[in-house]
Structure 1
């Protein structure tokens, strides 16, 4: 009830935003009305197209998106303000991110190098920084029990030990390890841990587990493992100061064909070794002459070239004070062989920034430009940890943070969530009151003077478990005590999935939220006094 009373008061007075401004509410409405769903759709159809392959940070698709955005800024007459590295100015703020990963990884058999995550894959974030030449010994299933042992007649100290998955069984599937033929403790995941501990305890340098899958199945497993492990290879805006420590007892998975190569025998002979154990119940460990391979899995930080894209609209009498309007233009790329186009996340915010830039540029051409300057910026690396905005705010603020009045950040405004469906006329506002009560008031009044949406503050609650306030690019400005407002319409079934496509965007709603951001930016940019930082809410 209190919110409704406040809204009525603000709407009736209209003084907070416009009474002392040379640019009137009527002018704001004129240029807000130029915001076009057709323009938004045209831009988004390209930004979220398959051609850009999901705009993963550092990818060619992300760079194509950056080129498109920069051209749009240039066509609108926005000023380039980022250093081009040659003493001039450009639209790109170039920088490197640093991704942890494998810089150089291979297994060399003779003169042939086997391909990482294709011919073999690691069990974890394995680190072998220098090439190691090791003897290879076959140890059957890697089992040591009362009724069965693969380690009786072999020495594995400082060697690469090749073992089979699972436990020794007869043709009927009964275990040779247990007296009753039931599955033993050496099978499945628990058995894997037991096997690795046993090999390490006997001094093995590394372990190679032969997958039970056929060649096609193994390649699928290797590809899946690459995706899983890549999630742990996080990016950073800074290089690490200490190298990763070598793995004490690394474990790799290999195919049957590669096992035969490592043991320097024909694939058919390897199959015979396995079949012999099935028939006889006697280990074939040590029955193959030892061979030698070279192994390296150097981990480190790989530089990833990327860029923020920005265009500057100079203000009039208060041009040294700057309003920032942001969205992230990266997405998650290709996963599991499927392109994730990210139409809503955050193609919607990116194209809203372009349309806002067009509307404000037109106002300036007509002689009604904003009093304060506006920096329109689309940032990279949000999906990797808000890295593009972090780089800008923490390392290279092109506009000094002291001159930055606020950040209006747009991230996912093209769909609806299940909490509001089928209603479309809402938007979550996050953070508008946390640092400036005035920004919050301007936001409320801008809504009442324009689209009259339901402004939902559910996610503004510091107790909200989703913690969205900390999960988009505005936070990198808020932590520097710069007032922010985050526009968001919630998650949906296609969040970070291949179904986040242009066809599902609700363009009338999307256009109206973009209009709301325009009115808020107009109010902040044209008021007499700079926003006060008078709050410090969690």
Structure 2
């Protein structure tokens, strides 16, 4: 997802502990072992693990590896002694052979459009379904915005733009300007179309506002699509088909309707809009559904004084798996995303365990959750947040690792969605020892805060941070290395070339582990309950004490 940052040395790196309460743990200096960190990344992202797709043989290997690693580190299984929490999942597989005609234009699956269905129907057969352009597909009363106002979507397919209205015309000060709100996320758009009674929902892909190219859509939205097992009532309300269409094909579709998509995009950013295209769609493809449990891995290190209060870490262990339709390399190894983050929580867990073994346990418990199904819509974290092993109101905060910094040390430190909660002050305090400054992400329009597992907990009111990496290399040599490595890894996000590289400079990643360690250590040995600031979406769930 996004990249992270540096530490106090190379190979074996020492975090400069800030100290805490009377536990004596301020005398413990953790040693982050770079070679061990590298080994974990390399093993988890090896071909043997088959891209770590949920409900596959690759998952079984991953679960065994993580459970053994946590056990060897001295942590205990959080689920009555087991490290595994079952997450009931359903895998939907749409046929590669799809017949799709919109406005009389034949569209090619994968090349022009990607469609799927999250229903148990064996055959999707839609005939003459009216197409309606609904702007950004947003219904947001707090922004006085409703793209569905006055239109009955029953039996119709909603065509909508990616992102939210603030992105296209930030000068109008709508929504959050260039910074994406949750209304810009694909998951919201499909959910809202379902609430509106639509038959289907299709998002127009545009690389800049989406923040990723069509290849990411094709790679991520084809093949088996996992989801949580939902109630029949929820399923009955869900759109029959959902997916994405390439921008040029959408432009052709609108032209067939006698409309200019470019003109309508400007109108959609300025005010809510809903226009019947007076065109229809015919869609047919086979579909299947299989039900299988996947698993979160949950390990804990019990606290001494307030063991029922938990400081949480998350990192998703899953990736995309294997695509047998590809020629050549078929394995999405997911080394950066997110073998690196998973290796990161293992290394942090080892440090906290070692601290306890030396006679300095934390007051609060430290719990690590390696989640499943993040790539399919934050499934594992959503399930845990709704079915927590430890009560949500006893969850103090959550630190999320989703990809680490492989570009060397930086002078700054990125906090995605900076300004949301008091939890950030713990990171800022830890940064002092590294002489670094906290900054916001460079591309808030990508909606990074809503795209990883911490968001599932934020929705429940748990202060959450997704941080690390930076934009300013520490020196010229690092800047030159970063430019070279960026070029090598160009286009590898959600692609088969996201593989472990022996020439990665992980000093920045290790430095970031130290920031998370220090912040969590401080919080685990205090009685503080950080909260969300007034201007945020989550303030009403757990308000900040100092506003």
TM-score normalised to structure 1 length:
0.58
Match of 1:471 in 2: 451
Q: 1:399 aligns with which of 379, 386, 390?
A: 390
What's the C-alpha RMSD, in Å, of the aligned pairs? 3.6
- Aligned to 1:368, what secondary structure does the other structure show? coil
Match of 1:312 in 2: 300
Match of 1:516 in 2: 515
- Comparing 71-80 and 237-246, the one that deviates more: 237-246
Match of 1:452 in 2: 435
- Aligned to 2:420, what secondary structure does the other structure show? coil
| Distance verdict in 2 for CA 1:374–1:433, change over 3 Å | farther
Structure 1 residue 429: Cα displacement = 1.5
Q: 2:533 aligns with which of 519, 532, 535?
A: 535
- Aligned to 2:287, what secondary structure does the other structure show? strand
Match of 2:142 in 1: none
Match of 1:363 in 2: 355
Structure 2 distance, partners of 1:521, 1:487, is 13
CA contact (8 A) 2:20 2:525 kept: no
Structure 2 distance, partners of 1:340, 1:314, is 36
| Distance verdict in 2 for CA 1:501–1:427, change over 3 Å | farther
Structure 1 residue 382: Cα displacement = 0.6
| Distance verdict in 2 for CA 1:495–1:489, change over 3 Å | farther
CA contact (8 A) 1:322 1:375 kept: yes
Q: Which runs of 5+ in 2 are unaligned?
A: 1-16, 98-112, 124-216, 242-283, 471-485, 537-547
2:416 is the alignment partner of 1:430? yes
Structure 1 residue 423: Cα displacement = 6.0
CA contact (8 A) 1:414 1:505 kept: no
Structure 2 distance, partners of 1:308, 1:229, is 22
Structure 1 distance, partners of 2:359, 2:64, is 29
Structure 1 residue 315: Cα displacement = 0.4
| Distance verdict in 2 for CA 1:359–1:229, change over 3 Å | closer
Structure 2 distance, partners of 1:51, 1:486, is 29
The size of the alignment, in residue pairs, is 347
The within-5 A match list for 1:268-279 is: none
Match of 1:98 in 2: 90
Structure 1 distance, partners of 2:465, 2:239, is 43
Structure with larger RCO (C-alpha < 8 A, sep 6+): 2
| Distance verdict in 2 for CA 1:406–1:19, change over 3 Å | closer
| Distance verdict in 2 for CA 1:498–1:530, change over 3 Å | same
Match of 2:493 in 1: 495
CA contact (8 A) 1:237 1:387 kept: no
Match of 1:242 in 2: 236
CA contact (8 A) 2:94 2:224 kept: no
CA contact (8 A) 1:408 1:484 kept: yes
- Aligned to 2:349, what secondary structure does the other structure show? helix
2:62 is the alignment partner of 1:49? no
Match of 1:443 in 2: 427
The within-5 A match list for 1:347-426 is: 347-394=339-386, 396-416=387-407, 424-426=410-412
| Distance verdict in 2 for CA 1:318–1:433, change over 3 Å | farther
| Distance verdict in 2 for CA 1:508–1:95, change over 3 Å | same
Structure 2 distance, partners of 1:355, 1:128, is 41
Structure 2 distance, partners of 1:485, 1:365, is 28
Structure 1 residue 323: Cα displacement = 0.3
Match of 1:334 in 2: 322
User: For each residue in 1:62-90, what CA deviation from the matched residue of structure 2 results, as whole angstroms up to 9, or x when unmatched?
Assistant: 221111000111112211122xxxxx531
CA contact (8 A) 1:343 1:505 kept: no
The within-5 A match list for 1:11-160 is: 18=19, 20-23=21-24, 25-27=26-28, 30-31=29-30, 34-82=31-79, 89-101=81-93
Structure 2 distance, partners of 1:318, 1:365, is 18
Structure 1 residue 516: Cα displacement = 1.4
Match of 2:505 in 1: 506
- Aligned to 2:446, what secondary structure does the other structure show? coil
Structure 2 distance, partners of 1:306, 1:389, is 12
Structure 1 distance, partners of 2:355, 2:226, is 42
Q: 1:301 aligns with which of 276, 284, 289?
A: 289
Structure 1 residue 446: Cα displacement = 1.0
Larger Rg: 1
Structure 1 residue 466: Cα displacement = 0.7
Structure 1 residue 245: Cα displacement = 10
Structure 2 distance, partners of 1:403, 1:344, is 31
CA contact (8 A) 2:319 2:332 kept: yes
| Distance verdict in 2 for CA 1:227–1:484, change over 3 Å | closer
Structure 1 residue 522: Cα displacement = 0.6
Structure 2 distance, partners of 1:537, 1:382, is 27
- Aligned to 2:76, what secondary structure does the other structure show? coil
- Aligned to 1:407, what secondary structure does the other structure show? strand
CA contact (8 A) 1:432 1:486 kept: no
Structure 2 distance, partners of 1:327, 1:128, is 30
- Aligned to 1:35, what secondary structure does the other structure show? strand
Structure 2 distance, partners of 1:481, 1:66, is 29
Structure 1 residue 19: Cα displacement = 6.1
- Aligned to 2:71, what secondary structure does the other structure show? helix
| Distance verdict in 2 for CA 1:226–1:474, change over 3 Å | closer
| Distance verdict in 2 for CA 1:496–1:128, change over 3 Å | closer
| Distance verdict in 2 for CA 1:445–1:51, change over 3 Å | same
CA contact (8 A) 2:18 2:522 kept: yes
User: For each residue in 1:503-531, what CA deviation from the matched residue of structure 2 results, as whole angstroms up to 9, or x when unmatched?
Assistant: 1532222211111111111111112x222
Structure 1 residue 400: Cα displacement = 0.5
Match of 1:325 in 2: 313
